[in-house]
Amino acid sequence: MTGKSLTVSGLSAGYGGVPVVHGVDLSVAPGEVVALVGPNGGGKSTIMLTCSGLVKPLGGQIRLGDEVLNGKSPNELVGKGVVQVPEDRSLFYSLTVEENLRVASSAPPRVDAYDLFPELKRLRRRRSALLSGGEQQMLVMARALYCNPSILLVDEMSLGLAPLIVERLFDALRSLSAEFGIGVLVVEQHVHLALKHVERGYVMSGGRITAEGGAADLERRWPEIEASYLGVSA
C-alpha cells in the first residue's frame, strides 16, 4: 500500500474540547521523510495522535490521497495505511519478538522485518521485555511494517537511545521511504539530529506551525527561528 500523500489542512485539536493545536497545515508525500520539530508541549504529539485517530479533530481536515480521514477509528486508519510508531512502544512484553510481529497482522508484509533489522532475527525467540531500548524500538518499527503502511507516524523514537542506535533507525526509515514509497512523518525533540536525516521539516511551537522548509534551509535559519519563535536568544 503506497503512493498516497497525507495532507493536514487547518487542523485544530485538543482535549476535553480545549484546543492545543491551532490551524495546522502540513503534508507528507509518498517516499518522503518529513520532520515535525520544536519544544516539548508545542503540540507535536497531539498532531500525531489526531492523525492516527486517537484524538478527534476539533476543526480542519486530514486526508490520505483524496479520502477524508476525519472521524475514522485508529483501526480503520491502520487498514487504510496510516500507521503510528508510538513514543511509549506499546509492545506485548510477555511475548517474543516473533510473536509480537505475528500479532500485528496475519497478512505477510511487503517489507521483511528481519532484512531491515537483522538483529531481530537473532533475537526472534527472546521475550520483548528482555530486549534493550534500541532493540525494542527496532521491534516497534518492524511491527508497524506488518500493517503495510503508506504513511508512518513516528513519535520521538530517539528517547533514551544511544546516538548510534538513533542513526541506525533513521537510516532504516530513509531506506523504507526510498525503496517502498512510504511517507514518513517523524516527531523529534532533537532538531539538528532530525534535520540531518529528512528532506523537509516543520517547526511547531505554541500549537502552531511557526516555520517550515527544506532541511538544509531550516538548519541554516535555526538561530533566527529560535530567537523569533521559540524564545531562545541567538
pTM: 0.90
- The per-residue pLDDT for range 125-174, each reduced to its tens digit, is 999 999 999 999 999 988 888 888 999 999 988 888 888 888 999 999 99
Backbone angles phi, psi at 67, to 5 degrees: -90, 130
> Greater confidence, 228 or 9?
9
pLDDT band at 13 (very low <50, low <70, confident <90, very high): very high
For the sheet with 33-37, list strands across it.
Answer: 82-85, 151-155, 183-188, 33-37, 200-205, 208-214
Question: Does residue 39 contact residue 24 with C-beta atoms inside 8 Å?
Answer: no
Mean of per-residue pLDDT scores for the chain: 90
pLDDT at 227: 82
Q: According to CATH, what is the number of the domain 6-89+148-229?
A: 3.40.50.300
